Amino acid sequence: MFPSKVGHPIHNFFYTLLLIPFILILIHLHYIPQLRTTLSKSSNECTGKYIYIQNIPSQYNTDLVRDCDKLSQWTDMCMAVTNTGLGPNISNINNGWYNTNQFTLEIIFHNRMKHYKCLTTNSSQASAIFIPFYAGLDVGRHLWGTDTSVRDSDSMELLKWVKSRPEWQRMGGNDHFLVAGRVTWDFRRIMVSGWGNSFLNQPETQNITTLIIESSPWHTNDIAIPYPTYFHPSTKNEILSWQEKVRKISRKYLFSFAGAPRSDVSSSIRQKIFEQCGLSKRCKLLDCRNDGNECFSATSIMKLFKSSIFCLQPKGDSYTRRSTFDAMVSGCIPVFFDSESAYFQYKWYLPKNYSLYSVFVPEDVVNEGKVKLEELLSEFSEGEVIRMREEVIKMIPKLIYGDPRVELEGWKDAFDVAIERVIERVGKTRSEMKKGELIEASDEKESWKYGLSVDGGKYKWDGFFQNHV
Ligand SMILES: *[C@@H]1O[C@H](CO)[C@@H](O)[C@H](O)[C@H]1NC(C)=O
Ligand SMILES: *[C@@H]1O[C@H](CO)[C@@H](O)[C@H](O)[C@H]1NC(C)=O
Ligand SMILES: *[C@@H]1O[C@H](CO)[C@@H](O)[C@H](O)[C@H]1NC(C)=O
Ligand SMILES: *[C@@H]1O[C@H](CO)[C@@H](O)[C@H](O)[C@H]1NC(C)=O
């Protein structure tokens, strides 16, 4: 029945007809991640990279988003959860920009995961098991409630559910991971009446790897990953043109700070920063006591950071700040006052040698009034500034989360880095378990060594302080 000769116009026409179903199938495969996964299995690019998404009940994720009006008593989270957690589109500035809330990482990460190229529906094939629990949205509903049993209840039920699954038995949960979009202290209630729930104190969560915006220096079961910023590009070109833009921009302020002082803490570094910035003509302050709305506006925050050479990142209620990432995305060189604010945290993301991309000024030295930030920062030569800024700009792609609604082509974002490292970490644990060695997530303990020893155990600024006392 098939035409036997090629070349005749009618025969060609038949061939074209025969091709149509194949073309349709290819088009379909392109749009159905699950099928495409099956297809790519044969090509082996996924060997050792498969991830299985645990099919947890919707009360632990999508129902929380549906009931967004109950997520926070302070913020309108219903705006924040739109666009798969990116928040309202502010692309009138530039493509890929959203007014992203700092607590929506769980939704963004989950949706990025849905586009991960090596998903499997066969859990025994998976290198790691993802639990798409929105841990931070869950606890965020009850943080200011007094009843600790209410705060704990859903997360305990979730753990019971996960533990009862056959996937748990394989490695006692040591191949499981999840994302928590709030700081670790919200999940580590110490005293009966203390702050937070006790999700990360449970026996199950000692085995699960928790990726979190601020980790605990005293525990090995959580690992810090970047806060979400306002920038969620979907193409490599959007990234490249942004990098080019912040590289070329002229910056009129030597340094800047966006935040509020903590007047309740007498020795607060923030108080000192406010004083120093207020007294310097070369510092720009976005005072979040007075300019509250500006502080929640992506546009004014990015405008400030884009006009500044250095951005001060003192700790606030906790060690880390979302602002660190907003600043770095703007090509602004971060200034840290506590090594817990970044160096000991984001070790998967930041170079060990912090002097390459940031300035460290020990908090005590500022509190004791031994240093003038303006003098210290203006000592950097133009060449040094350019080198450090270039280091920051190079890091941008891996410090941000791409648009979770598309598959990213040709670049890696913070999600990709996290997945690679989780698979590596689980692989290490797996081989230790096979050898029967005691499980200990030793890599995190070593993170302490990264900190201040890089300059031979001395602060780069020691000499400077001695001269300026
Ligand atoms: C965001 O809004 C702009 C204009 O307001 C529009 O052109 C663009 O397509 C929107 N982007 C997305 C991803 O919705
Ligand atoms: C799942 O994967 C395992 C290990 O690769 C394999 O032995 C098993 O046959 C697979 N099951 C299904 C239903 O494909
Ligand atoms: C955690 O992992 C260890 C080591 O595999 C295992 O002995 C223990 O039972 C696991 N804990 C839970 C709660 O399953
Ligand atoms: C760290 O980076 C700084 C600045 O580039 C450089 O001077 C120093 O030698 C580096 N230290 C190490 C241990 O590589």
Angle 392-397-399 from CA coordinates, rounded to 5°: 70
Instruction: Mark residue 50 as left, alpha or beta (left: phi above 0; alpha: psi -120 to 50; beta: remaining).
Output: beta
Residue of the nearest CA to atom 7 in ligand 3?
172
Q: Which residues of 255-278 are buried (b: 16+ CB within 10 A; e: fewer)?
A: bbbbbbbbeeeeebbbbbbbebbe
Of the candidates 253, 302, 314, the residue with the CA atom closest to the CA atom of residue 281: 253
User: CB-hemisphere CA count at 13 Å for 343?
Assistant: 25
Give the ligand with the smallest distance to the CA of 383.
4
Residues in the chain: 469
Residue 303: the pLDDT is 94
Residue 171 Cα: closest atom of ligand 3: 5
For residue 170, the ligand closest to its alpha carbon is 3
Say what the pLDDT of residue 245 is: 96
**What pLDDT score was predicted for residue 238?**
95
Output the pLDDT for position 291. Answer: 61
**Which numbered atom of ligand 1 lies nearest the CA of 96?**
13
Residue with CA at minimum distance from ligand 4 atom 13: 454
pLDDT at 223: 97
Q: Which atom of ligand 3 is nearest to the CA of 207?
A: 1
Residue 172 Cβ contacting ligand 3 at under 6 Å: yes
Cβ of residue 234 lying under 6 Å from some atom of ligand 1: no
Atom of ligand 3 nearest to the CA of 203: 13
The answer to whether the CB of 98 falls within 8 A of the CB of 88 is: yes
- Residue pair 415/401 in contact (Cβ under 8 Å)? The answer is yes
pLDDT at residue number 366: 93
Pocket perturbation via mutation, ligand 4, pick of 350, 356, 384 by most ligand atoms within 8 A of CB: 356
Task: Output helix, strand, coil percentages for the chain, rounded to the nearest 5.
Answer: 45, 10, 45
Tell me, in angstroms, the distance from the centre of ligand 2 to residue 146's CA. Answer: 47
Q: Which CATH code fits 236-399?
A: 3.40.50
Give 123 Cα–ligand 2 centroid separation in angstroms: 8
Give the DSSP per-residue string, 388-415: HHHHHHHHHHHHS---TTS---S---HH
The domain ranges of the chain are: 51-224, 236-399
Distance 355 CA to ligand 4 centre (A): 6
Backbone angles phi, psi at 162, to 5 degrees: -60, -40
Ligand nearest to the CA of 172: 3
Q: Is any ligand 1 atom within 6 A of the Cβ of residue 89?
A: yes
CA of 353 to the centre of ligand 4 (A): 6
Residue from 38, 41, 124 to probe ligand 2 pocket by mutation (most atoms less than 8 Å from CB): 124
> Residue 207 CA: which ligand is closest?
3
Nearest ligand atom owner, CA of 127: 2
Ligand 1 pocket residue status of 91, Cβ below 6 Å: yes
Summarize pLDDT for 374-384 with one digit per residue, the tens: 999 999 999 99
pLDDT of the chain along its 469 residues, tens only? Answer: 343 434 444 455 445 555 555 544 444 545 555 545 455 445 589 999 999 999 999 999 999 999 999 999 888 899 999 999 999 999 766 689 999 999 999 999 999 999 999 999 999 999 999 999 999 999 999 998 778 999 999 999 999 999 999 999 999 999 999 999 999 999 999 887 789 999 999 999 999 999 999 999 889 899 999 999 999 999 999 999 999 999 999 999 999 999 988 766 656 889 899 999 999 999 999 988 876 677 878 999 999 999 999 999 999 889 999 999 999 999 999 999 999 999 999 999 999 999 999 999 999 999 998 999 999 999 999 999 999 999 999 999 999 999 999 999 999 999 999 999 999 999 999 999 888 765 554 444 443 333 333 333 343 333 333 333 2
Q: Is the CB of 290 under 6 A from ligand 2?
A: no
Task: Tell the residue nearest (CA) to atom 7 of ligand 1.
Answer: 91
Cβ(406) – ligand 1 distance below 6 Å: no
Q: Which helix (H) or strand (E) holds 382?
A: helix 382-399
Ligand 4: which residue has its CA nearest to atom 5? 356
Neighbouring CB atoms inside 10 A of 178's CB total 26
49 contacts 127 by C-beta, under 8 angstroms: yes
Q: Quick one: CA dihedral 159, 176, 342, 220, positive or negative?
A: positive
Best residue for ligand 4 mutational test, from 333, 353, 450 (most atoms within 8 Å of Cβ): 353
Helix (H, G, I), strand (E, B) or coil at 71: coil
Q: At 432, is the secondary structure helix, strand, or coil?
A: helix
The pLDDT value recorded for residue 265 is 60
